């Protein structure tokens, strides 16, 4: 176990927050539930943004920006949507402060009360659809495929760094289509992009499927999701893609003229992933020594730790490596030389393990004599000698191995912790002891779902696309299963 970090086995929740602060990913903000994303953490977010954004552009989406402040009345236009968000909205009621007439500090100026209160967006469907009403007249205006990168605020009771904070960063796509088929296709296409980025870039295996009525987005016809398993075997919803049908078009009266000159409401989707993904990254790949970052998004893929006494030693080491490091840079490998003289080499080893750098290169006088270096993999801890002249060839290979190795480890872990059960007693036992994912039959009744949740704390995470409900029965009622589903305790 690392110095100052709670053991993952002993207390997973503390281990998680310890890593975030020790690896300098984030820190607590001054307002309860807020979070500062520090440069190292923000670099990861930037890489994720780029990975998603590139794929959005490739599929015809464009970025735009809508305002943070929304008229309160907008939220109430879609009945389900109100129910979903009303309880957690920050409301702006005044626009001015004044010196406290009774003493020190500032107070709200009662004369500055707003005629119509505004809310801080918990999500942007309502503003965006108020604008789409202006922009859409004919089928020729469709589709609209807009995405925005923004912050949103949801006033949460209980918060946790990255997983649930009052303000968070995300991406929200909002599309408008002429036909239900097109909207459906869009929602599924985005889900594929999410799966691809999670698996190929973040090395996190995902399950894809449909949310139940109880779990779907407020205002959606149906919600697709990607669901992941964390290191404590609990489920984390990592992203959602909603087919909104005509719900928002009706709420905001957005119609278009069809080719046949008929007036019809527009079909919509919305979809998002957030900084929560960084939480997933930590909880899927982290180990007792700290973070383990997949090379694809590691701020530094290779960290060089020179072993020496002073500037002259370090200069000699940098000269020794110059050609190799330049070549790696030219190949797009992100290399960082940690040439701080104020901390020891041993300290740096621990620090970069905490920060999850995929490869560490140690170079000292002994290596220089031999024309070699020591290279250490963060994923396995494996330490080996490498010839300096082989670095350019070997480093990219090792990074690829680490990327796929982390993914394989996560796949294996999920497989080992996904079980099937024969009856409800076994189900309860499994959930309360080992946990993990349980794949079983469900009769499709919301009351069954609610009862199981009440009794076990496990919820239906999703109805997987590859479900085979034929011939199996509901784990709770014993009736023929309508769906095969995944149950788990979730974040």
Residues in touch with RNA (CB under 7 A): 2-5, 13, 28, 32, 84, 87-88, 154, 156-158, 163-166, 168, 170, 217-218, 237-240, 272, 274-276, 289, 307-310, 341, 343-347, 349-351, 353-354, 362-368, 373-374, 376, 383, 457, 490-491
- Measured from the CB atom, is 129 or 224 closer to RNA? 224
Alpha-carbon distances, residue 324 vs 317, 321, 330, 376, 388 (angstroms): 12, 5, 10, 17, 7
Nearest-approach distance from CB 467 to RNA, in angstroms: 21
Alpha-carbon distances, residue 319 vs 3, 254, 325, 340, 392 (angstroms): 34, 65, 10, 16, 16
For residue 468, the 8-state DSSP code is -
Nearest-approach distance from CB 384 to RNA, in angstroms: 11
Nearest-approach distance from CB 206 to RNA, in angstroms: 12
CA angle 475–479–480, rounded 5-degree value: 95
Give the residue among 490, 5, 463, 130 at the shortest CA–CA distance from 276.
Answer: 490
- Measured from the CB atom, is 114 or 365 closer to RNA? 365
- Measured from the CB atom, is 193 or 376 closer to RNA? 376
Nearest-approach distance from CB 423 to RNA, in angstroms: 24
Sign of the Cα torsion 479, 481, 486, 491 reads negative
Nearest-approach distance from CB 59 to RNA, in angstroms: 21
Nearest-approach distance from CB 50 to RNA, in angstroms: 20
- Measured from the CB atom, is 108 or 114 closer to RNA? 108
Give the three-state DSSP class for 92. Answer: strand
Which pair of structure tokens corresponds to residue 464? 């997987």
> E strand or H helix at 401, and its extent?
helix 391-416
- Rounded to whole angstroms, the maximal C-alpha distance in the chain is 82
- Measured from the CB atom, is 290 or 299 closer to RNA? 290
Give the three-state DSSP class for 371. Answer: coil
Between CA 282 and CA 38 the distance in angstroms is: 15
From the CB of residue 490, how many other CB atoms can be counted at a distance below 10 Å?
16
- Measured from the CB atom, is 114 or 450 closer to RNA? 450
- Measured from the CB atom, is 209 or 308 closer to RNA? 308
Nearest-approach distance from CB 344 to RNA, in angstroms: 3
């Amino acid at each position: 176990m690392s110095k100052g970090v709670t053991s993952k086995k002993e207390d997973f929740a503390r281990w998680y927050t310890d890593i975030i602060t020790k690896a300098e990913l984030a820190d607590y903000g001054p307002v309860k539930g807020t979070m500062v994303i520090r440069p190292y953490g923000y670099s990861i977010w930037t890489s994720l943004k780029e990975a998603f954004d590139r794929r959005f552009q490739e599929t015809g989406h464009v970025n735009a920006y809508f305002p943070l402040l929304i008229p309160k009345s907008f939220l109430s236009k879609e009945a389900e949507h109100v129910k979903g968000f009303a309880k957690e909205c920050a409301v702006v009621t005044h626009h001015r402060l004044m010196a406290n007439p009774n003493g020190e500090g500032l107070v709200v100026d009662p004369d500055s009360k707003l005629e119509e209160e505004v809310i801080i967006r918990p999500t942007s469907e309502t503003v965006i659809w108020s604008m789409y009403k202006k922009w859409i007249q004919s089928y020729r205006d469709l589709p609209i495929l807009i995405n925005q990168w923004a912050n949103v605020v949801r006033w949460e009771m209980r918060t946790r760094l990255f997983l649930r904070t009052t303000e968070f960063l995300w991406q929200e796509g909002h599309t408008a289509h002429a036909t239900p088929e097109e909207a459906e296709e869009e929602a599924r296409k985005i889900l594929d992009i999410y799966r691809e980025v999670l698996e190929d870039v973040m090395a996190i295996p995902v399950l894809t499927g449909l949310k139940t009525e109880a779990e779907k987005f407020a205002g959606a016809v149906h919600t697709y999701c990607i669901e992941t398993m964390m290191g404590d075997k609990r489920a984390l919803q990592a992203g959602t893609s909603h087919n909104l049908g005509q719900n928002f078009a009706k709420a905001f009266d957005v119609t278009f003229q069809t080719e046949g000159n008929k007036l019809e409401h527009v079909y919509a989707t919305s979809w998002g992933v957030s900084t929560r993904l960084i939480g997933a990254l930590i909880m899927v790949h982290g180990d007792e020594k700290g973070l383990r970052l997949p090379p694809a998004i590691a701020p530094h893929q290779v960290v060089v730790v020179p072993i020496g006494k002073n500037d002259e030693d370090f200069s000699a080491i940098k000269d020794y490596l110059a050609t190799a490091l330049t070549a790696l840079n030219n190949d797009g490998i992100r290399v960082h030389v940690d040439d701080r003289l104020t901390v020891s080499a041993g300290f740096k080893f621990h620090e970069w393990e905490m920060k999850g750098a995929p490869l560490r290169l140690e170079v000292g006088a002994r290596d220089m004599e031999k024309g070699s270096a020591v290279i250490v993999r963060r994923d396995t801890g494996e330490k080996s000698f490498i010839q300096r002249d082989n670095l350019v060839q070997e480093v990219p290979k090792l990074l690829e191995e680490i990327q796929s190795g982390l993914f394989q480890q996560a796949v294996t872990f999920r497989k080992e912790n996904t079980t099937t059960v024969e009856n409800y007693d076994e189900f309860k036992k499994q959930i309360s002891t080992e946990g993990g994912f349980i794949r079983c039959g469900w009769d499709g009744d919301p009351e069954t779902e609610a009862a199981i949740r009440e009794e076990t704390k496990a919820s239906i995470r999703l109805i997987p696309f590859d479900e085979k409900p034929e011939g199996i029965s509901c784990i709770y009622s014993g009736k023929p299963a309508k769906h095969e589903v995944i149950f788990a305790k979730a974040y």
